[in-house]
Amino acid sequence: MFKNMAITDGANSSGGGLFSRELEQTPERSGRRRGLVVGAILLVLLGLWLWMQGSEGGALRALSPVQRQALYQETWRDQRARCLVGEAERRDTPAQCQHRAEFLLRFPQCDVACRAELAPSFSPTPP
């Protein structure tokens, strides 16, 4: 089965072998292959980024309307109690409040009134 195969260094062989210089890739083929590999990696990274961006929205859409409404109401209750109160009563950091407000904006129930009420969560607070 392997009787015609020879492993040579290419110096004394006219037919070439596994380590023959005749099997070396030309720079053009090597560059094309490198470009394809880099392109494939970039496509995979773009796909992962898009998947991560849509994961919360996809999870919300996967909930039943009843579950989505319950989560929306519970999240609003937390936002109002922890963030949309006076400075002394605030229990969460501005970053936590902003993150929860961004989450609430992803719900289809969050209309113009909802966005207006969430606006203070995006304002910088004085030091």
| 16 Cβ contact partners less than 8 Å away, ≥ 6 residues apart | 8, 10, 22, 23
Cα–Cα distance between 60 and 110 in angstroms, integer? 13
Per-residue model confidence as pLDDT tens digits over 24-80: 666 677 788 888 888 888 888 887 666 655 656 667 777 888 998 999 999 999 999
Residue 47 lies in a domain: no
Q: Which is more confidently placed, 83 or 1?
A: 83
Residue 39 lies in a domain: no
Which pLDDT score, from 0 to 100, does residue 75 have? 93
Number of domains in the chain: 1
Residue 91 lies in a domain: yes
The packing angle between helices 65-82 and 94-105, to 10°, is 150
Residue 27 lies in a domain: no
Residue 5 lies in a domain: no
Residue 89: give the domain boundaries. Answer: 65-122
Q: For the chain, how far is it from start to end, CA to CA, in angstroms? A: 79
Residue 96 lies in a domain: yes
Q: What share of the chain is helix, strand, coil (3-state, %, to 5)?
A: 65, 0, 35
Residue 101 clears pLDDT 90, i.e. is over it: yes
Per-residue model confidence as pLDDT tens digits over 109-124: 899 999 999 998 887 6
